[in-house]
């Protein structure tokens, strides 16, 4: 679809721009003092960012008509076209494929078949210590007991393999940690814990802060690299930092994968409930709590469980293309315009579940219509600025974040300019409209050379930088900035903290806890009139200032020495 058609589509189907044009410009905020960080033209553009513009985008993107913006579903495609249309109306240049705003992402949708069978059985030649009644075949119930997908993208496969407990399933030489100890696990099913060994030592798996080694994505990847046919993660709410409902809702219905490129994949990538794991381990005469404690030691060695997984995996395989949406504001400097600063936000959510009674649309108003609204408002502000920054500014709304950061993974592998020329990525994900914030969270910014500028600009805004309240949850590795960091691009997300004007910290913590418990990845994550988007506009202005500063610095942003992504940065340059 060319630029003219997109503009016509926006004018006919999405007349929001006309509404926004009728609004009065926002008055400058007297409480902001930017010193030398921004020139007057940039301050004027930034101060034009308006909460009701963001709210209007959120209202549309989370409407029932978009059916939860599922990846590879009609509603997701409509969202992508809507965002592209807004970029066109702002006058930004397309930076996708074929002079368009769209970057095609080849994907495959996998839906587990109703005839899939997932059964635990006693292994042949079991230990003589086991009793005859140890384990009768136990057929696990999908969604209640387990979730599983066949990552090999085959319509049918059979698994009959011994289960081996591998603790946390981590091999990390830099921490002198190896759960595998050289044991050959080819053809096995690996049972493992989520998260990583607990520690207060910042030099050991960064202490309480979760690293990539603790993420389920790493554990599946490592199991496949070692030749395992399957991996089963034991879900424990305290370790995963979210309940089974999140696992079930994120792993039911169709799940998307990038089209295979030769990377090893698992026939059974699964989660099981803690109670199921206890029964499985007990069948070998072992105690799960004791085994979990033993896994925290460097001396841990893999434990065969004398239990097999017998599974018949059937899948509906649907090849399709989804799209990242990419626009660019070319830089003003003849040399530095070949480099860029990037803003990102994912537009997808969990879609619709036709077989679910009641409200079955996962609207994703907070997650992540808010981030998209912020992204578009920042783009509008940059496009309307009387002065342009030295480096180019890229605005990217990615697909399939909820499917495992797939859209941003593809973007990282196929960036609009080489990764080594992208100075910084600023990401927005799930910014709740809760009023005027007095804090910001920029977890991961402290790992970059840009952090002094972040601190200075936060002070200009009179924001206190709030440390990650739950570093053990590994939030840094759970949003799209991580995909850019993996290819070396300094990246972090911007969000509000827990302290808001006219409220104490306890109020903010209560709002956050209520959202996580009752709305995160639930159909109830919906738009409601009366929400206060002051916070979203504040985060947009703060991000505008950060991006402008990064785009005009003499030297590009880097990772601090010794950071886990420093090597990838050097390789990209």
Cα angle 30, 35, 40; round to 5: 70
Say what the pTM is.
0.84
Q: What is the pLDDT of residue 135?
A: 59
- The whole-angstrom separation of Cα 46 and Cα 570 is 33
Question: Helices 534-552 & 40-47, crossing angle to 10 degrees?
Answer: 160
Q: What is the pLDDT of residue 250?
A: 83
Higher pLDDT, 478 or 335: 335
- The whole-angstrom separation of Cα 253 and Cα 440 is 35
Q: What is the pLDDT of residue 34?
A: 53
* Residues 491-549: tens digit of each pLDDT: 999 999 999 999 999 999 999 999 988 999 999 999 999 999 999 999 999 999 999 99
Q: In CATH terms, is domain 110-317 a member of 3.40.50.1100? A: no
Considering the chain, tell me which residue range(s) the CATH 3.40.630.10 domain(s) occupy: 3-24+37-105+322-572
Q: Which residues contact 498 (CB under 8 A, 6 or more apart)?
A: 439, 466, 469, 505, 508, 509, 512
Q: Are 522 and 362 in contact (CB under 8 A)?
A: yes
Least confident segment among 86-90, 126-130, 214-218, 266-270: 126-130
Q: What is the pLDDT of residue 320?
A: 96
In this prediction, residues 83-106 reach a mean pLDDT of 98
To which residue do tokens 């990847």 refer? 221
In this prediction, residues 209-228 reach a mean pLDDT of 92
* Residues 315-372: tens digit of each pLDDT: 999 999 999 999 999 999 999 999 999 999 999 999 998 888 999 999 999 999 999 9
Q: Model confidence at 8, in pLDDT bands (50, 70, 90)?
A: very low
- The whole-angstrom separation of Cα 30 and Cα 36 is 16
State percent of the chain over pLDDT 90: 78
Considering the chain, tell me which residue range(s) the CATH 3.50.30.30 domain(s) occupy: 110-317
* Residues 238-257: tens digit of each pLDDT: 888 888 998 998 888 888 89
Neighbours of 563 (CB within 10 A): 17
Least confident segment among 7-21, 383-397, 522-536, 544-558: 7-21
CATH number for the region 3-24+37-105+322-572 comes to 3.40.630.10
Strand partners, 231: 190, 269
State percent of the chain over pLDDT 70: 91
Question: Helices 370-384 & 40-47, crossing angle to 10 degrees?
Answer: 140
Least confident segment among 9-23, 259-273, 298-312, 441-455: 9-23
Average pLDDT, the chain: 91
* Residues 252-306: tens digit of each pLDDT: 888 889 999 889 999 999 999 999 999 999 888 899 999 999 999 999 999 999 8
């Amino acid at each position: 679809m060319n630029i003219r058609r997109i503009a016509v589509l926006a004018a006919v189907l999405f007349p929001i721009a006309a509404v926004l044009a009728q609004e009065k410009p926002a008055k400058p905020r007297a409480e902001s003092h930017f010193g030398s960080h921004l020139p007057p033209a940039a301050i004027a553009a930034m101060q034009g960012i308006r909460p009701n513009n963001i709210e209007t985008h959120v209202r549309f993107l989370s409407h029932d008509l978009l059916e939860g913006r599922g990846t590879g579903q009609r509603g997701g495609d409509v969202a992508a076209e809507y965002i592209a249309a807004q970029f066109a109306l702002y006058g930004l240049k397309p930076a996708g494929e074929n002079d368009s705003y769209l970057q095609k992402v080849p994907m495959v949708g996998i839906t587990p078949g109703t005839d899939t069978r997932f059964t635990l059985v006693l292994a042949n030649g079991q230990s003589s210590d086991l009793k005859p009644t140890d384990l009768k075949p136990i057929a696990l119930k999908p969604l209640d007991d387990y979730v599983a997908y066949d990552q090999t993208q085959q319509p049918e496969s059979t698994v009959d393999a011994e289960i081996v407990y591998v603790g946390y399933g981590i091999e990390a030489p830099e921490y002198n940690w190896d759960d595998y100890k050289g044991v050959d696990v080819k053809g096995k099913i690996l049972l493992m814990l989520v998260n990583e060994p607990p520690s207060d030592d910042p030099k050991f798996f960064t202490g309480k802060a979760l690293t990539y080694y603790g993420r389920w994505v790493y554990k599946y990847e490592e199991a496949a690299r070692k030749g395992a046919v399957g991996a089963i993660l034991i879900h424990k709410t305290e370790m995963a930092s979210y309940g089974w409902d999140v696992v079930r809702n994120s792993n039911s219905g169709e799940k998307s994968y990038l089209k295979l490129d030769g990377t090893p994949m698992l026939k059974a990538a699964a989660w099981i409930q803690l109670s199921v794991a206890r029964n499985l381990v007990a069948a070998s005469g072992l105690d799960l709590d004791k085994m979990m404690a033993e896994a925290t030691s460097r001396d841990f060695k893999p434990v065969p469980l004398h239990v097999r997984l017998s599974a018949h995996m059937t899948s509906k395989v649907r090849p399709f293309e989804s799209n990242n949406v990419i626009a660019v504001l070319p830089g003003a400097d003849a040399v530095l315009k070949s480099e860029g600063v990037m803003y990102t936000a994912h537009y997808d959510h969990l879609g619709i579940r036709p077989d679910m009674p009641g409200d079955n649309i996962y609207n994703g108003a907070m997650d992540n219509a808010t981030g998209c609204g912020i992204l578009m408002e920042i783009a509008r502000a940059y496009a309307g600025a009387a002065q342009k920054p030295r480096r180019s500014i890229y605005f990217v709304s990615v697909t399939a974040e909820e499917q495992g950061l797939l859209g941003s993974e593809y973007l990282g592998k196929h960036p609009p300019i080489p990764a080594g020329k992208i100075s910084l990525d600023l990401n927005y994900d799930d910014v709740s409209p809760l009023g005027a914030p007095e804090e910001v969270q920029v977890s991961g910014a402290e790992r970059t050379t840009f952090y002094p500028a972040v601190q200075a600009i936060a002070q200009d805004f009179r924001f206190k930088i709030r440390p990650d309240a739950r570093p053990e949850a590994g939030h840094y590795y759970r949003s799209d900035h991580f995909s850019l960091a993996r290819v070396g691009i300094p990246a972090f997300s911007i969000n509000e903290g827990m302290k808001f004007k006219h409220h104490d910290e306890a109020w903010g913590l209560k709002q956050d806890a209520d959202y996580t418990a009752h709305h995160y990845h639930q159909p109830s994550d919906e738009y409601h009139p009366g929400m206060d988007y002051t916070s979203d506009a504040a985060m947009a202005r703060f991000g505008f200032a950060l991006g402008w500063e990064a785009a005009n610095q003499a030297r590009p942003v880097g990772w601090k020495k010794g950071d886990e992504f420093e090597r990838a940065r050097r390789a990209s340059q």
